Amino acid sequence: MGYELRVERPAPLAFAELANVLGRAGFEFRGSQEKGEVLARHGDGVYAVAIWDGSLSGAPGSDWQVAQLARVSALLGARLVGEDGEQYAIRDGLVEQLNGSAAYEFGKIDEILAAGPTVWSQ
């Protein structure tokens, strides 16, 4: 597993709430209440975005996956946090990484989602 991003919020996340939010937002879920995957469609494909095991986390390999994780986090009223404490969010239509007062823009959410899960080069 690569660099992990986790969905954090003050109140615990119940599976029923997760399933409700995912269903309304067009995400899919494969697995059980105890463990599974959050999936998102692009074109004819379905791609893993996050892992559910009582908490929600993901190891994105593309800007598209970061954007999808940021969408899920926002829908849950949560923060998307990286291993080093940086946060990822959607603000004014842009996907951003925030670290202290510094901000890095991934790009416009609509353009990132339209481009699809193009994997980052190593």
The structural domains of the chain, with segments of one domain joined by +, span: 5-115
Torsion of CA 40, 41, 46, 50, to 10 degrees: -10
- Of the pLDDT bands very low, low, confident and very high (cuts 50, 70, 90), residue 118 is confident
The confidence score (pLDDT) of residue 108 equals 96
Q: Is 69 left (phi over 0), alpha (psi -120 to 50) or beta?
A: alpha
pTM of the model as a whole: 0.92
Strands (E), the chain: 5-8, 28-31, 36-42, 45-52, 56-58, 79-82, 87-91, 94-99, 102-108
Contact residues for 78 (Cβ-Cβ < 8 A; gap 6+): 7, 8, 9, 13
Q: What is the pLDDT of residues 7-50, one digit of tens each?
A: 999 988 999 999 999 999 999 999 999 999 999 999 999 999 99
Residue 122 has pLDDT above 70, yes or no: no
Q: What is the pLDDT of residues 55-107, one digit of tens each?
A: 999 999 999 999 999 999 999 999 999 999 999 999 999 999 999 899 999 89
The confidence score (pLDDT) of residue 1 equals 44
What is the DSSP code (8-state) at residue 14? P
The confidence score (pLDDT) of residue 121 equals 62
C-alpha to C-alpha distance for 48 and 15, rounded to whole angstroms: 17
